[in-house]
């Protein structure tokens, strides 16, 4: 996008004369174009910028930045435009206008761990493997409850069966999913770790993925990153692409 066009759009945005569609498109551009966002966000300590004293403080900061850079490196056109258009922000504050999801409230990180969990968690991908029952009536009943999304009842039945058949990896996996659905994330993590440590089974790759999602849900971002990096480094892994996308979003 040409520089003049960006300046014109930013001015219209700050004046509040954009249509809802134009505003959404411009905000999407800011999210996607990291360099543009950094220019706009420079010197924006704006968590409470819509208070009059903060607007004055911001103007002083930008003026000071302008003076300090005059003899060294010229400010970007976007920052210069912000200085000249602060009156529009002040007017908006005077009218009590709250600009949401825009330049004044955007933060570098657009995705929370919980939001990423909701975006990527899909229990329907956990397909039932019928042979895990092998004629056991209790197992068949537990799996039927799982399929009907009666996760509380299913998890209780899985626990009873696993107390006697601890090596049933398939049931261990579905119990982990049931724990997620009933918000028992510590138990889910325990189930998936058991599968991963066992290693010699068909559920390891899936357990690694859902383990990472559990860490995201619990806001354990460091643990989630480590787990997602493992998945992303697995050549031809089923969840490789999704893991890479989440890691990228965590950096935003």
Domain boundaries of the chain, sorted by first residue: 3-108, 114-250
pTM comes to: 0.56
pLDDT of residue 64: 56
Average pLDDT over all residues of the chain: 74
Q: Are the beta carbons of 77 and 3 closer than 8 angstroms? A: yes
pLDDT tens-place string over residues 4-57 = 676 677 667 666 677 877 777 776 776 666 565 555 544 333 333 334 444 455
- Give domain 114-250's CATH architecture: Alpha Horseshoe (1.25)
The most confident of 4-8, 95-99, 127-131, 210-214, by mean pLDDT: 210-214
pLDDT of residue 125: 65
pLDDT tens-place string over residues 144-199 = 999 899 999 999 999 999 999 999 999 999 999 999 999 999 999 999 999 999 98
Identify the CA nearest to 206 among candidates 121, 117, 109. 121
Distance between CA 213 and CA 117 in Å, rounded?
A: 6
Could you say which DSSP state residue 46 is in?
-
Could you tell me the two tokens for 191? 């189930």
**CB burial string 187-211: b at 16+ within 10 A, e below:** bbbbbbebbbeeeebebbbbbbbbb
Q: Are the beta carbons of 139 and 133 closer than 8 angstroms? A: yes
Q: Are the beta carbons of 192 and 174 closer than 8 angstroms? A: no
Could you tell me the two tokens for 39? 């220019």
Per-residue pLDDT band at 108 (split at 50, 70, 90): very low
pLDDT of residue 123: 77
Residue in the structure block whose two tokens are 């004369």: 17
129 or 18: which leads in pLDDT: 18
Q: How far is CA 202 from the centre of its chain?
A: 28
pLDDT of residue 218: 96
Distance between CA 16 and CA 216 in Å, rounded?
A: 36
Q: Which residues contact 190 (CB under 8 A, 6 or more apart)?
A: none
163 or 2: which leads in pLDDT: 163
């Amino acid at each position: 996008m040409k520089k003049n066009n960006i300046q014109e759009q930013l001015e219209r945005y700050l004046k509040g004369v954009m249509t809802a569609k134009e505003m959404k498109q411009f905000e999407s551009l800011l999210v996607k174009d990291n360099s543009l966002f950094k220019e706009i966000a420079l010197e924006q300590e704006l968590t409470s910028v819509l208070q009059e004293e903060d607007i004055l403080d911001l103007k002083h900061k930008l003026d000071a930045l302008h003076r300090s850079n005059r003899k060294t490196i010229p400010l970007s056109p976007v920052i210069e435009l912000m200085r000249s258009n602060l009156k529009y922000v002040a007017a908006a504050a005077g009218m009590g206008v709250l600009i949401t999801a825009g330049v004044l409230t955007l933060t570098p990180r657009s995705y929370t761990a919980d939001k990423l969990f909701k975006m990527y968690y899909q229990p329907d991908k956990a397909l039932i493997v019928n042979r895990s029952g092998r004629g056991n009536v209790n197992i068949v009943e537990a799996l039927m409850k799982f399929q009907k999304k009666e996760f509380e009842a299913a998890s209780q039945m899985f626990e009873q069966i696993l107390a006697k058949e601890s090596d049933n990896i398939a049931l261990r996996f579905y119990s982990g999913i049931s724990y997620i659905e009933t918000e028992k994330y510590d138990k889910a993590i325990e189930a998936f770790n058991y599968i991963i440590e066992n290693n010699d089974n068909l559920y390891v790759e899936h357990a690694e993925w859902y383990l990472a999602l559990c860490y995201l849900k619990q806001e354990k971002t460091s643990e989630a990153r480590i787990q997602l990096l493992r998945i992303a480094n697995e050549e031809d892994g089923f969840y490789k692409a999704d893991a890479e996308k989440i890691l990228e979003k965590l950096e935003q």
